[in-house]
Amino acid sequence: MTLSAAQRIELPGSSILAGAGLLQQAGAAAASLAPAHAYVVVTDTNVAPLWLEPLVQSLERHGGGRVLTRVVPAGERHKTRETWSAITDWMLAEGCGRDTTVVALGGGVIGDLAGFTAATYLRGVNVIQVPTTLLAMVDAAIGGKTGVDTPAGKNLVGAFHPPAAVLIDPEVLGTLPPRELRGGFAEVLKHGAISDAAAFDEAARFAASLRARERTAAEWSDGAVVSLIARSAAIKADVVRADPLERSRRQILNAGHTVAHAVELASEYTAAHGEAVSIGLVTESAAGERAGVTAPGTAARLAAALAGAGLPTTIPRELDVDRVMTAMGTDKKNRRGQVRFALLAEVGRMAGNDAEGWTTALEEPLVREVLSAAVAPADPAPNERESGAAARR
């Protein structure tokens, strides 16, 4: 594939390119979109053995600068100021100047961490995002939010720093663990649900086909797959373009996320983000239906698509609804006895608008009732099953 053959989405200051084999074109893309004397590639211990070499080779051949690499331990718990300071100290020791481009090769953790490094290093150098998870391709790598976690909470120290380029190469999804892939589909389906019913249906069909059988690495370079991912990335880009600093419209990206964040917190992060988003999309829509904001049948349509993608749509029994409610109280979207949600009007369209706001306040008792009704039904315990059988006899 040549660079000019890649699908292209433009944001102010950012070019988003999507194409199979784009990783091998990273050097040429960097030279044209964020040329530098030094490229600092930041990646993690899972991604490095899989995808670092072709990227570095391309940068060395065509980037026109020296290439340095930094591999950090994989995982959210390393998205910290400590990791950030280790990287920046090392870059300073290596003599990296303002003509450095940081290249983030990895999922959202690396994207946020390396993006924040670029945002702060010498008051800001270019970053190129090379997302390697589905979530990062359609969500984290797009829109310029960067940051690290602190003991007080996730993403609390950060900066807006739009990437000079985002290079999306779906071939790298061939090595992504299935749970991570499913989690990415929660966001892909969310993007369809908030703005494009046809994209929603297309993503639902694709996710269901993936569950039916594993896709080979080569199949990830299929044009239809590239288009599906590019379309989802474009939905996020459209929202970001309209509201880069999250003052209004960008809140629609929080659909499903008020409940999701509470489920993550209440489960002590044993529920993966995508799983929590899936539960959140269904339960928030059910609450929206009860409040007369969301069209009847929306929650069921979402649940069918998400379940088809292998995602949970009910609240796990071991999760206490009280704890989820409490966790929502600590959510910054909460106001006095009410909780605010970015609700759908129907699949493909949001409730709300720029004038009155994109979130809707719902009364706490209604939310509690909907969440209680969404707790997964119990498998009958063995003794109950027996007594049931005895009663029938």
Ligand X SMILES: NC(=O)c1ccc[n+]([C@@H]2O[C@H](COP(=O)([O-])OP(=O)(O)OC[C@H]3O[C@@H](n4cnc5c(N)ncnc54)[C@H](O)[C@@H]3O)[C@@H](O)[C@H]2O)c1
Footprint of ligand X (CB under 6 A): 44, 46-47, 50, 74, 76, 79, 106-110, 112, 132-133, 135-136, 139-140, 143, 145, 154-155, 172, 175-176, 180, 183
Catalytically annotated residue among 161, 261, 301, 340: 261
Q: How far is the CB of 124 from ligand X (least distance, A)?
A: 16
Catalytic site includes residue 273: yes
Q: Which residue is nearest to ligand X (CB)?
A: 108
Catalytically annotated residue among 79, 190, 231, 257: 257
Catalytic site includes residue 78: no
Please compute, for residue 62, the number of CA atoms within 13 A of its CA located in the half-sphere on the CB side.
Answer: 17
Taking the alpha carbons of 93, 94, 95, 101 in that order, is the dihedral positive or negative? negative
- Alpha-helical (H) ranges within the chain are 26-33, 53-62, 81-93, 108-120, 134-135, 178-195, 197-212, 223-242, 257-266, 273-290, 298-308, 321-329, 364-373, 382-392
In the bound state with ligand X, the residue whose beta carbon lies nearer, of 29 and 136, is 136
Catalytic site includes residue 261: yes
CA-based diameter of the chain, in Å? 82
Q: How far is the CB of 209 from ligand X (least distance, A)?
A: 20
Distance CA 89, CA 56 (A): 22
Mapped onto helix, strand or coil, the DSSP state of residue 311 is coil
Catalytic site includes residue 191: no
Q: How far is the CB of 163 from ligand X (least distance, A)?
A: 10
In the bound state with ligand X, the residue whose beta carbon lies nearer, of 92 and 217, is 217
Taking the alpha carbons of 320, 326, 328, 331 in that order, is the dihedral positive or negative? negative
Catalytic site includes residue 154: no
Catalytic site includes residue 289: no
Catalytically annotated residue among 191, 236, 249, 301: 236
Catalytically annotated residue among 246, 346, 364, 369: 246
Name which of 305, 273, 115, 136 is nearest 206 in CA terms. 305
Would you tell me how many other CB atoms lie within 10 Å of the CB of residue 299?
24
Report the alpha-carbon angle 34-35-38, nearest 5.
Answer: 110
In the bound state with ligand X, the residue whose beta carbon lies nearer, of 65 and 108, is 108
Catalytic site includes residue 145: yes
Catalytically annotated residue among 70, 79, 191, 250: 250
Q: How far is the CB of 292 from ligand X (least distance, A)?
A: 31
In the bound state with ligand X, the residue whose beta carbon lies nearer, of 173 and 351, is 173
Tokens of 321: 């609804």
In the bound state with ligand X, the residue whose beta carbon lies nearer, of 111 and 308, is 111
Q: Cα torsion at 41, 44, 46, 49 (round to 10°)?
A: 30
Q: How far is the CB of 229 from ligand X (least distance, A)?
A: 13
Q: Which residues does the annotation mark as catalytic?
A: 123, 145, 187, 236, 246, 250, 254, 257, 261, 273
